[in-house]
Amino acid sequence: MTADIMSGLEKIAQEHGHICFGLAVGYRASLLVIDKFEIDPLTKEDELVVVMQENSCCEDAVRMTTGCSWQNGTLVVQQCGRAVFIFYNNTVGKAIRLTLKDELVGSWQEIHELKNKIFKKTASKKEKEYFKEMNQCLVKMITIAQNEDLFDIEHFNMTLLVKLSYYDSLCIPVNSANSNASQSA
């Protein structure tokens, strides 16, 4: 399984340009949802819609793995800077929200700050080396971790979402969604 995850990640990394923490997180989130919904979204257009509350490298992983894209209205990015993914299955009227575990949020923020410094060419040599090392460790950890160790996983019935035709209808407030949530492994 771990070998499959790594080879899948390496495959999408070819298009993304590199293997990184964000790509790995987005990939694991996508695999988890495909497994829970028991679907092959790449063959059924519009069955799956995703709202992401972060626009980092993980967006690329979700797009390539699930086939959701902003061009066909099935991928929406709310730039809240949080590693949260809400996947909606239009066919069965269910949604899954994945929130990166609190234990990983610190690493998530740290590596993003380092990456920004590198892009802006303000990172020192030591910071660049640290980034490389940290990225490798995190990717390895994300690849072998259990789903439940990566994400808080919540399931919803889409009673709040009558029709998913418009972006606005996707932007359910987190608090109102929470009231219907049932925690599940």
In the complex, the residues that contact Zn ion under the rule CB under 5 A are 20, 23, 57
Residue 58 or 153: which CB sits closer to Zn ion?
58
Dist CA 118 CA 123 (whole Å):
5
Residue 52 or 158: which CB sits closer to Zn ion?
52
State the DSSP string of 1-16: -HHHHHHHHHHHHHHH
Pairing type for strands 75-77 and 48-52 reads parallel
CB of 24 to Zn ion, least distance (A): 9
CB of 134 to Zn ion, least distance (A): 13
CB of 22 to Zn ion, least distance (A): 5
Residue 23 or 139: which CB sits closer to Zn ion?
23
Residue 20 or 49: which CB sits closer to Zn ion?
20
CB of 60 to Zn ion, least distance (A): 7
Residue number of the CB atom closest to Zn ion: 57
CB of 13 to Zn ion, least distance (A): 8
The tokens for 42 are 């790449």
Residue 95 or 104: which CB sits closer to Zn ion?
104
Residue among 69, 68, 56, 51 at smallest CA distance from 21: 56
Residue among 94, 100, 78, 79 at smallest CA distance from 26: 100
Dist CA 19 CA 162 (whole Å):
38
Dist CA 40 CA 37 (whole Å):
9
